[in-house]
């Protein structure tokens, strides 16, 4: 198997990255908590992933393969207010926005107080799964964290992902139970 080319996303890649992530996370516990039901998910997941993409694309911290079929959206240390959701306020109904804010509060309270690189989203379109592209795009951010001499941190609410990340060298450093189970992991 050849090594895939990893590139940095630009605004032109937004559509493919966002649609790939929306296809990837259809059964994810966090996204189902934020947008319960098929109708809510199909209406609002792309706005949510678009928000995450837009906040980070100018930082050049979105690594991808095949123009977005696999993507890792990273937040560098000292990035401004990771939890800002001003643009989401206009795109989500009040109940979904409330759940986004509740999840954000729970996660941010559990994150380390020292500088770190944050892996906010890692996903590969289901049609391209099994190629280890997720590991490849994740590694780009891990190299940046190592070069900066700071840890890498992520959170997941999918119990199956905990073991996947452990095998990739991550360790659970904190867990939260409300508003849903959340494992904070560090490498």
At 140-182, the pLDDT tens digits run: 999 999 999 999 999 999 999 999 999 999 999 999 999 999 9
The candidate with the shortest Cα–Cα distance to 35, out of 107, 89, 95, is: 95
Q: What's the rounded Cα separation, in Å, for the pair 122 and 76?
A: 15
- What pLDDT shows up at residue 3? 77
**pTM of the complete model:** 0.93
Strand partners, 171: 186
Nearest to 74 by CA among 55, 88, 87: 55
| pLDDT value at 91 more than 70 | yes
Q: Write down the architecture of domain 6-186 according to CATH.
A: 3-Layer(aba) Sandwich (3.40)
Q: Reply yes or no on whether the pLDDT at 83 is more than 60.
A: no
Which is more confident, 121 or 2? Answer: 121
**Distance, first Cα to last Cα, the chain:** 27
Mean pLDDT of the chain: 94
Say if residues 27 and 75 touch (Cβ distance below 8 Å).
no
Domain ranges of the chain: 6-186
CA distance 106 to 21: 22
Provide the 8-state DSSP code for 68: G
Residue 80 has pLDDT above 80, yes or no: no
Per the structure block, which two tokens stand in for 137? 């795009």
Q: Which of 44, 29, 148, 59 is nearest to 96 (CA)?
A: 44
């Amino acid at each position: 198997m050849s090594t895939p080319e990893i590139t940095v996303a630009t605004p032109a890649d937004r559509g493919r990255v966002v649609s790939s992530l929306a296809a990837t996370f259809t059964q994810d516990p966090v996204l189902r908590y934020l947008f319960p039901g098929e109708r809510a998910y199909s209406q609002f997941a792309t706005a949510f992933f678009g928000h995450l993409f837009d906040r980070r694309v100018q930082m050049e911290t979105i690594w991808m393969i095949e123009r977005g079929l696999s993507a890792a959206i990273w937040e560098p240390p000292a990035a401004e207010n990771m939890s800002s959701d001003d643009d989401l306020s206009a795109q989500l109904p009040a109940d979904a926005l409330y759940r986004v804010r509740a999840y954000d509060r729970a996660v941010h309270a559990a994150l380390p107080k020292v500088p770190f690189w944050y892996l906010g989203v890692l996903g590969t379109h289901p049609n391209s799964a099994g190629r280890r592209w997720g590991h490849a795009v994740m590694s780009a951010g891990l190299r940046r964290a190592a070069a900066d001499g700071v840890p890498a941190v992520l959170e997941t609410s999918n119990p199956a992902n905990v073991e996947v990340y452990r095998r990739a060298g991550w360790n659970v450093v904190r867990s939260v139970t409300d508003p849903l189970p959340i494992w904070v992991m560090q490498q």
